[in-house]
């Protein structure tokens, strides 16, 4: 889920940035500090949006920079267990696929793809269901449920595990075909 969060902090403006407008220097400092950060409370910080800087700063003895109070907004992505999301296949491997969900990739393991024996064709870069004939390749769109989320500290990506083995989950084309198949008998009964 994407969120817009307002925070307060104190930032240091380096003397080398005194020639820049205060708002621009503060924005640059906040971007360096927050963008790309992964936090248990905030999630994945995507971008600093809006910055308001107190023009009155403090000077700390022995430090040539100024310290200013800032209020700013950040856009975050916070994955939640059991949340249903859609993502694009960005990588296919023999053990499963990676789906791009927001700013991060989630693992869709072969055991969570479908009720079928799945083989990997390395030459074509696809996963193939033996009985169903269903294929998975780069660029396919999937609807999945998040079943595992871990947040490391710092700037590493963390891990998200997803499943497609529930009703109305899986490759979007498969879901659309299932919906059409359910609607067809109803239309035939009306005639």
Per residue in 67-115, pLDDT (tens digit) is: 999 999 999 999 889 999 999 999 999 999 999 998 889 999 999 998 8
Among candidate residues 47, 50, 35, 45, the one with its CA nearest the CA of residue 78? 45
Where in the chain are all domains bearing CATH 2.40.50.140?
A: 84-181
Strand partners, 142: 87, 171
Residues in the chain: 191
In the predicted structure, residue 137 carries a pLDDT above the cut 70:
yes
pLDDT in tens, 34-76: 998 888 888 889 999 999 999 999 998 989 899 999 999 999 9
Assign domain 84-181 to its CATH architecture: Beta Barrel (2.40)
Compute the average pLDDT of residues 114-128.
90
Q: What band does 155 get if pLDDT is binned at 50, 70 and 90?
A: low
Q: Is the pTM of this model over 0.95?
A: no
Where in the chain are all domains bearing CATH 3.30.1490.120?
A: 2-77
Q: How far, in Å, CA of 89 to CA of 91, rounded?
A: 6
Q: 2-77 adopts what CATH topology? A: Dna Ligase; domain 1 (3.30.1490)
């Amino acid at each position: 889920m994407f969120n817009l969060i307002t925070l307060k902090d104190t930032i240091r403006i380096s003397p080398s940035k005194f020639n820049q407008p205060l708002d621009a220097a503060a924005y640059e400092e906040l971007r360096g500090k927050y963008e790309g950060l992964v936090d248990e409370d905030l999630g994945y910080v995507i971008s600093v949006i809006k910055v308001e800087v107190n023009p009155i700063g403090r000077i700390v003895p022995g430090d040539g920079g100024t310290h200013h109070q800032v209020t700013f907004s950040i856009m975050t992505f916070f994955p939640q267990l059991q949340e249903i999301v859609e993502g694009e296949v960005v990588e296919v491997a023999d053990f499963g696929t990676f789906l791009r969900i927001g700013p991060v990739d989630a693992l869709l393991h072969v055991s969570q793809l479908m009720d079928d024996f799945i083989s990997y064709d390395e030459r074509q870069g696809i996963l193939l269901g033996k009985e169903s004939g269903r294929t998975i390749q780069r660029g396919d769109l999937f609807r999945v449920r998040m079943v595992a989320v871990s947040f490391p500290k710092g700037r590493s990506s963390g891990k998200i595990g997803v499943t497609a083995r529930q009703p109305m989950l899986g490759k979007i084309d498969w879901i659309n075909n299932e919906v059409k198949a359910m609607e067809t008998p109803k239309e035939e009964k009306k005639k």
